Amino acid sequence: MIKTGAIHIMLACVVICLTYCNRADHISAVTQVQRHEANWSDGLAAYEATWPDKFEIGKSADKSFIAKWDIDVRPDGKGLPKGEGRAKNGAAVYQNKCASCHGVNGYEGPEDKLVTDSTGRNTIGNYWPYATTIFDYVRRAMPFEAPGSLTDQEVYDITAYLLYLNGIIEEEFVITEKTLPQVEMPAKKRYVLDDRRGGPEIR
């Protein structure tokens, strides 16, 4: 009796098993293809875990080397050398080294207008938010045919002259490492930080 019961149960199991295995919908017709993300950083974390704590590559840079290369000037004045710039002296340097590209008065071109005129085109006076940028840029990249050739004195004088031409400072105002960061540029209040964030809104 127990033996027959066991056989019946076994048979039932086999039938259920076979039925289940044969169900057509059990095996999906289309195998889902494994989607590989194909991102540049796939596996990077695991690879990073194999790196040493320090690579110790390259040569350490000493203060004098850095001082020679560190030329940028920030809105708070950091990076400005000690000096005094006067519009009157800047006029002479400007006529000599800048006027051929930017015009005798700073707006005749052929290159970028520096001084505001009736055309409304962007100039230092109506578009530049920081006065320190004039010093940074002129020292960095001007004059076009001999970039980096101006002395700090010449750069100070030109900076004073361009601010004077745009009506931002008086002719006698002395531009120094202290006064230049304090010069308020008319366009500064118009500047806003990027507000685009993706998503459906157009900005």
Sites of contact with other proteins (CB under 8 A)? 36, 38-40, 44, 47-48, 51, 54-61, 65-66, 69-76, 122, 124, 127-130, 132-133, 136-137, 140-141, 144, 147-148, 187, 190-200, 202-203
Q: Residue 83's closest CA among 124, 142, 139, 125?
A: 139
Q: How far is the CB of 59 from other proteins (least distance, A)?
A: 5
Do 76 and 119 form a contact (C-beta atoms < 8 A)?
A: no
Residue closer to other proteins, measured from CB, 15 or 44: 44
Q: How far is the CB of 174 from other proteins (least distance, A)?
A: 23
Which residue, 94 or 130, has its beta carbon nearer to other proteins? 130
Q: Give 21 or 38: the residue with its C-beta nearer to other proteins.
A: 38
Distance in angstroms (rounded) separating the CA atoms of residues 182 and 195: 27
Is the peptide bond between 186 and the residue preceding it cis, with omega within 30 degrees of 0? no
Least Å from the CB of residue 107 to other proteins: 15
Question: At a CB cut-off of 8 Å and minimum separation 6, what does 114 contact?
Answer: 98, 102, 106, 107, 123, 124, 162, 165, 166
Q: How far is the CB of 52 from other proteins (least distance, A)?
A: 10
From the centroid of its chain, how far is CA 64? 27
**Token pair of 19, please?**
């039925």
Nearer to other proteins, 7 or 71 (CB): 71
